[in-house]
Amino acid sequence: MEHIPFDKRSGKIWFNGELVEWQDTKVHVISHGMHYASLVFEGIRIYNKKIFKLEEHTKRLFHSANIMDMNVPYSEDEMNIATRELVENQNIVNGYIRPFIWRGSEMMGVSAQKTKINVAIAIWDWPAYFDPELKKKGIKLNISRWQRPPQNSSPWNSKAAGLYMICTLSKHEAEKKGFTDSLMLDHEGNIAEATSANVFFKDKNNELNTPIPDSFLDGITRKTVIDIAKSKNIKVNERKISPDELQNFTGCFITGTAAEITPIASIQDHKFEVCDLILDLSSSYEKLVGKE
C-alpha cells in the first residue's frame, strides 16, 4: 500500500472542539510544544469499529497533562465523546487514534505560564504495526546505548513527547544495523523496555518475568497481558531484570497498543523461541480486543 505523508492526508481532525479538514489543522512554527516538547499524547486502537479501552487511555492522557502542568480545557467525558464521534465520522474500521495536548505559541521561552493549551484528536487506518509474517517469526532487537533516565530527571510516568527523543535515536540506530527495534536499559543498567513497548521474558519454568515500571510507562497493554496470563494460571514476576539474565530465558515478547503482542526472535546474540505460550497469549489478546 502506498504511503501517504501525514500532512497530505484527507479526512477530519478534532481540533480544539471542532471538526476541521485534515490539511487545515495548522499550528504555528513558533509553538512551545514544538520547541520545548511540552506535549503529551496517547495511542489508541480501533478493532472492527470498536475502540479498545478508550476510557483508560483518556485517563492516562489527563494524568500525563497534569504531570506536565497543563490544565486541559476539556473534561475526560468530553474527550471520550469527541473521540467516538470522530471515529464514527471517519468510518474507520481498523485504525489508530492519536489524541494530543500541547502548549501553543503565545510565549516563547522556558516559562510558558500564559500559553494556550491546545487539544487535538487524529485518526487513521492502521491494520498492523509490524508485518504479520515478521511477527510470526519474531523480530530482532539490539541493546541501545541510551538509557531510561532516573525518576528525578524526567516525568517518567507520563506519555510526554520529550521522553521519546532517545527512543527515536535508539530505533534509528537499530534499524541502520539491521534490527527491527531496540531494547533500552534503565539508569541502573537493568532492562527497562523497547523503544515504544514493554517487554516480557519466559523462563524455563514457564513463568513470565517483566521489569518493574519505575522509570518507564506502565503500559495499558502490559497490564492487560498480565491479567490474561494470570487468568491462565501463568505466574508473572515483576522484578528487576539484568541483561546478564537473557541467557536464562527461552521466550520473549513485547507489548503495546501498536505492537500488541509481538514475539522476539533475538536480542543481540541471545535467541528465543516463538513458543506456544506466547502464541496462546497473543491469540487471547486478539480475541479480547475483537480482532478475531
Catalytic site includes residue 135: no
Closest CA to 291 of 252, 263, 260, 269: 260
Q: Is 131 exposed, middle or buried (CB count within 10 Å of its CB: 0-12, 13-18, 19+)?
A: exposed
Spatial contact of 138 and 263, defined as CB atoms under 8 Å apart:
yes
Question: What is the Cα–Cα distance from 272 to 190, expressed in whole angstroms?
Answer: 19
Per annotation, catalytic residue among 135, 140, 159, 171: 159
Contact 38, 102 (CB under 8 A): yes
Q: How far apart are CA 104 and CA 30, in angstroms?
A: 8
How far apart CA 183 and CA 197 sit, in angstroms, is: 9
Nearest one of 159, 165, 191 to 67, comparing CA atoms: 159
> Side chain identity at 31, as an amino acid letter?
S
Catalytic machinery residues: 159
